[in-house]
Amino acid sequence: MVIKRRVSQQSRGIDNVDSYAMQMSLYMSSKLQSTDYIENLTNIMQSQVPSEPYKS
């Protein structure tokens, strides 16, 4: 459970069940495939965040 809190900074409420499930799925997949969880998470997040800040 500590991994979940440190990574997501979310509470354990019912609203966060989907986020927790996705994080645990990624963590377990990383563990089973002997890959680095943090590196996998970083790669996923970088593909979702624009490299350029929004300009108005």
The 10s digit of each residue's pLDDT in 16-46 is: 778 788 888 999 999 999 999 999 988 888 8
Listing DSSP states for 7-41 in one string gives: HH---SSGGGHHHHHHHHHHHHHHHHTT--HHHHH
Enter the pTM of the model.
0.58
Only one residue has tokens 């809190």, namely 5
Q: Are 2 and 12 in contact (CB under 8 A)?
A: no
State the pLDDT confidence band at 49, using cuts at 50, 70 and 90.
confident
